[in-house]
Amino acid sequence: MEDREISQAVIGRLPRYFRYLGELKDQGIERVSSQELSDIMRVTASQIRQDLNNFGGFGQQGYGYNVVYLYDEIGKILGLHKEHNLIIVGAGHLGQALVNYMNFERRGFIFRGIFDIDERIQGTQIRGITVRPMEEMEAFVRGNDIDIAVLTIPKTGAVAVAEKLVSCGIKGFWNFAHVDLHVPDNIQVENVHLSDSLMKLSYNILSHA
Amino acid sequence: MEDREISQAVIGRLPRYFRYLGELKDQGIERVSSQELSDIMRVTASQIRQDLNNFGGFGQQGYGYNVVYLYDEIGKILGLHKEHNLIIVGAGHLGQALVNYMNFERRGFIFRGIFDIDERIQGTQIRGITVRPMEEMEAFVRGNDIDIAVLTIPKTGAVAVAEKLVSCGIKGFWNFAHVDLHVPDNIQVENVHLSDSLMKLSYNILSHA
């Protein structure tokens, strides 16, 4: 499987396939054609076939896709059969909201540690996880097989924190700080820039007014 | 200006230009060449010129871009010179985090109302805004010139709530519910599917392992 040749646009669509297949599975539907999937997902059947062909196809002429099989396979492609150990840096409102969201844990993303610079909240707990001082972050990452760091801190601190975490062997960042992280090529970054998203919505409202 | 011909990919990059130009402005830098902007933003100078040419250019041969002017113009293109009135549906952890995030308000996105189905939190306040019962939502939207609804509710309720809001004249959805909203073409939807983003990160970590 030549993963690196698969575009980020295709990768970005996989979770959506996974979501729709999960719903079909929950409804007890056993198989689905690319045309049926096309109708409910509102993308073309040819795009569905093209996207899935990147990973070897999965469909059978005249049968379509086996829902449970395709759901499981896409889950494996997305790495959801493995557990990820996460820390979150920044225990403000957004950090707390993410730690409290149970669905991530169901998918194998387990919050192991929470870190914050604010002494007043250090030692308190969020969903049973103690908020620790920043000074303990590096040893914790090294000692607990942490592979993903979630950054929910202001942009001023984010770059320096990211550099420290790279030196501790972190593999990926889920970055909510409003800054671009420049990390080595082998480190993955997924940005959630909320302000950018809201500005794009504003543009689209204005341009369709 | 033929807005509708401009791709969502270009629109999606505008907030990032806006952010970098804001930083240059804060540093007191008066002008910047597309090459300098290219170096700090890590995209090609030709992409920058192409993107900005969609809106009429703004640059001058041999001078580059005037930072404040370009910052202001991109802000106007993004509609940030106008105020948006928002309601948020769902006052759970994520909803609270968004209401408490001051930067949205600085950009003209003003939370006017908060609605939740949970009677126990109705009547409480988040940043001075009272949480109201769902039954009051439609009259509130009609009476307060609300143009954007933020959905931070579970996916089961989101589709029906969105339909109601469309009938009240809402112009756009900032949708955090893990479901696709199918709304008329003149209504804008900007999705923030957090689980999808985390799955994409998981894929990229796995495929670079």
> Domain residue spans in chain B?
3-77, 84-196
pTM of the model: 0.92
Q: Which is nearest to B88 in space by CA: B1, B174, B180, B2?
A: B174
> What b-and-e string marks burial along A49-84, b requiring 16 or more CB atoms within 10 Å of the CB?
bebbebbeeebeeeebbbbeebbbbbbebbbbeeeb
Q: First CA to last CA across chain B, in angstroms?
A: 46
What is the CATH number that goes with domain A3-77?
1.10.10.10
Asked if pLDDT for residue B2 goes beyond 50, the answer is no
Residues of A in contact with B199 (CB under 8 A): 14-15, 18, 78-80, 107
What is the CATH number that goes with domain A84-196?
3.40.50.720
Mean pLDDT per 10-residue interval, chain A, length 209 residues: 68 94 95 92 91 81 88 94 96 95 90 97 96 98 97 94 97 96 95 95 91
C-alpha B97 chain-centroid distance = 15
Inter-chain residue contact A104 with B198, CB threshold 8 Å: yes
Say what the pLDDT of residue A54 is: 87
Question: Which residues are CB-contacts of B72 (< 8 A; sequence separation ≥ 6)?
Answer: none
Say what the pLDDT of residue A199 is: 96
C-alpha B20 chain-centroid distance = 17
Instruction: Write out the H or E segment, with its range, that includes residue B65.
Output: strand B65-66
Question: Which chain A residues in 190-209 lie under 8 Å from chain B, judged by CB atoms?
Answer: 190, 192-209
**pLDDT single digits (tens) B127-183:** 999 999 999 999 999 999 999 999 999 999 999 999 999 999 999 999 999 999 989
Partner-chain residue, chosen from B15, B92, B186, that has the shortest CB–CB distance to A199? B15
Interface test with A, best of B74, B205, B208 (most A CBs within 10 A): B205
Say if CB B36 and CB A195 are below 8 A apart: no
| Helix, strand and coil percent figures for chain B, each rounded to 5 | 50, 20, 35
Read off φ and ψ for residue B30, nearest 5 degrees. -90, -40
Say if CB A174 and CB A98 are below 8 A apart: no
Say if CB B86 and CB B74 are below 8 A apart: no
Say what the pLDDT of residue B41 is: 93
Inter-chain residue contact A190 with B200, CB threshold 8 Å: yes
The complex's ipTM works out to 0.93
d(CA A176, CA A191): 6
Question: Which residues are CB-contacts of B23 (< 8 A; sequence separation ≥ 6)?
Answer: none
